[in-house]
Amino acid sequence: MDSRADEAARPRALVTGAGAGLGREYTRRLAADSYDLVLVGRNEARLRELAQQLESEFSIRAEVVPADLSAAEGIDAIRAVIESTRVDLLINNAGYGLKHGLLDSDPDELAELDTVLSGAVRDLSVAAAKEMKARGRGGIINVSSLAALTTMGQYAASKSAALVFTEALAGELRDTPVTVTAVLPGFIRTEFHERLGVDRPGPGWIWLDVEHVVTRSLADARRGKVVSIPGWQYRLAAQVAHVAPRSLIRLGSEKFSFERNS
The dihedral built from the CA positions of residue 109, 241, 253 and 19, taken in this order, carries a sign that is negative
Active-site hit among 26, 35, 155, 234:
155
Residue 131: Cβ within 10 Å count: 19
Helices (H), ranges, the chain = 3-9, 21-32, 44-58, 72-84, 107-114, 120-135, 153-172, 192-196, 210-222, 232-243, 246-255
Q: Which amino acid is it at 111?
A: A
Closest C-alpha among 86, 81, 78, 82 to residue 136 = 86
Active site residue 26: no
* Nearest-angstrom CA–CA distance, 59 and 53: 10
* DSSP symbol at 39: E
DSSP 179-234: EEEEE---EESSSHHHHHTBPPPS-GGGEEPHHHHHHHHHHHHHTT-SEE--SHHH
- Give the CA distances from residue 76 to residues 54, 79, 112, 122, 156, in Å, rounded to whole numbers and listed in that order: 26, 5, 15, 12, 25
Question: Position 203: which residue type?
Answer: P
Please give the positions annotated as active site: 155
